[in-house]
Structure 1
């Protein structure tokens, strides 16, 4: 299966101004690029035998995006990561957009194009209220994605960068919405999608604070009969990566579950996944979660302004999602139930003990203790920070 999954590319030239695009040799994938370029066909073929409705994407020129962003002026920069920069822009029709400029400076042109096409192919399958909306793209003078602009920006900017404290009812709404969005990607999408980079920066908020999962640059297909992918190099955001991922390169649904647990902890505590002193939120919060210490864990800015039942649900959900053993974590369907208080176990401790008896998957994690996890986490952090 692994041999069949390897993508074979050949070189052709597309569009003036950008050369050496990689195209799959298979005709069906040639059609994919041709239809993305023209945006005129009724359907778009993506990956093997799947046919999905054509997205209404616009094919922008570089000049259009340059004018919209005031030539990518620093004042319009609203987000920046290791692989892309995001600029606020105003189209000529008055529409406000977010222009994602693919950089990935450590990768060559061929790899950047391959990642760009992969992201487009994944987005083509997504149609959910809790996922970001793509408006168009550009391959003229570079690789760009044009997305719907959301006034509140990212969860990270609102939760950690704003002067006002984000109310608990909004935080809880965000947690449930992200859980439902991940549940869609894992179970209800035409192809199983593992996001691989669920972070507060990659969750956008609509005007009424409905969360939208964004940035599918690291997302992976997971074929129906596959248990996991093994990837290299390991990419992602430190503080959100599950131990089996950053130590072994294993990617599966539980990779996203772990990251979601960290995100819920951020919403509960108001702390970043990794603070300025390089302390992991997971390791800081674990003792308080085990002791069910609500007062010490909850964001002090909230005071007592939160629903105690919702808070305990969120705490229990986070504690199960960040377990260092993947088979001990719930799937996203279960995570949604836990957050909503549906079929929640009465004796949580007993359920936890029963869960420990489950057979673990074959990834050499049978003796993986919390102490070992802490050591590996610290070692990984040192490698990242060097």
Structure 2
């Protein structure tokens, strides 16, 4: 069976337009109007809004994104994953964008479902520390269009040997901004969004090093009355997966909290979640955390040029976030407020 967007591109676009432009949209990306009783609408339609506002995203034509990326020229390819590739582009109005093209013709129906799921999560998020969705395109293929983050990912800036060593002030600001973005997804956004793949390569940096959480391909949203979701198959990044997720498939906010703890350790130490010898960052860092040897966790490339109090706070928060029991991990609100990561 041909996928929906190829069987009837016009119908698929009408569905997306009804999602994005049905009624008025609120500040968190929600819209007015009744939900359609279809799987697609269930994946992407938001709950009722709190205040009216113009739609935050729109449907682009294929010609627009084709011109913006110079026909998807290889020189504009800035990233490639297992199921997508990302191109840098420039719209006619001068805005620089990132065009994410979903790949994998072998699984068209799943790709269509994943596309709607990602649209239905990030499409409702509006926060300085969350990568902003500008729109989508369903002509010829499936595309998502985002604001372009000029400095690439935290991972690239942290681990690329050709990049300047990231100073402590920048690292601390990245930790603070990412915590705020994640708290917003869990508590501030109209939908409870669980990202499921928080890691350094999925946090992008603007020109002024503002962190923005990106790549919502694995994200799930939780209805307010649900305590968790059971997910299969297990997807994510080895070294960042919470124990209850990779053993039982249980997903809730604490899944992201665990990954954020690993992210903090990666920023502090300059080490990857899993190194070339397959040793995990957690197994390396836990003895230092348990012994209170915080200075041993600081990236040696920084030398002594770091704030000791900030380092102790981040290490303390990381130690709480990576607890094996989800119950004993803090929420992101507790991380940003009570535990003073900010």
Same fold judged by TM-score > 0.5? yes
Indicate if the aligned counterparts of 1:171 and 1:267 stay in contact, CA closer than 8 A. Answer: yes
Residue 7 of structure 2, aligned match among 19, 23, 27? 19
Residue 150 of structure 1 is matched in structure 2 by: 149
Deviations 1:83-130 (A, max 9, x none): 21111112233221111111256x621111111112112123211111
Residue 358 of structure 1 is matched in structure 2 by: none
Residue 50 of structure 1 is matched in structure 2 by: 48
Distance 2:232 2:292 in 1: 37
Residue 243 of structure 1 is matched in structure 2 by: 243
| Change in 2 beyond 3 A, CA 1:50/1:176 | same
Residue 33 of structure 1 is matched in structure 2 by: 16
Residue 294 of structure 2 is matched in structure 1 by: 294
| Change in 2 beyond 3 A, CA 1:191/1:198 | same
Distance 2:302 2:55 in 1: 42
Q: Which has the higher contact order (CA 8 A, sep 6+)?
A: 2
Indicate if the aligned counterparts of 2:17 and 2:59 stay in contact, CA closer than 8 A. Answer: no
In the TM superposition, residue 289 of structure 1 has moved relative to its aligned partner by 1.0
Residue 110 of structure 1 is matched in structure 2 by: 109
| Change in 2 beyond 3 A, CA 1:32/1:185 | farther
SS at structure 1 position matched to 2:337: helix
- Where do residues 121-270 of structure 1 align in structure 2 (5 Å cutoff)? 121-161=120-160, 162-270=162-270
Indicate if the aligned counterparts of 1:314 and 1:339 stay in contact, CA closer than 8 A. Answer: no
Larger Rg: 1
In the TM superposition, residue 50 of structure 1 has moved relative to its aligned partner by 2.3
- TM-score by length of structure 2 reads 0.86
**Number of residue pairs matched by the alignment:** 322
| Change in 2 beyond 3 A, CA 1:131/1:269 | same
Deviations 1:263-318 (A, max 9, x none): 00011000111112222111111111111112321100010110000000011111
SS at structure 1 position matched to 2:310: helix
Indicate if the aligned counterparts of 2:24 and 2:55 stay in contact, CA closer than 8 A. Answer: no
- TM-score by length of structure 1 reads 0.77
Deviations 1:185-204 (A, max 9, x none): 11111121111111111111
| Change in 2 beyond 3 A, CA 1:104/1:255 | farther
* Structure 2 unmatched ranges of 5 or more: 26-30, 34-43
* Structure 1 unmatched ranges of 5 or more: 1-10, 25-29, 343-386
Distance 1:143 1:12 in 2: 11
Structure 1: 4+ residue segments shifted above 6 A: none
Q: CA RMSD in A?
A: 2.6
Residue 351 of structure 1 is matched in structure 2 by: none
In the TM superposition, residue 20 of structure 1 has moved relative to its aligned partner by 6.3
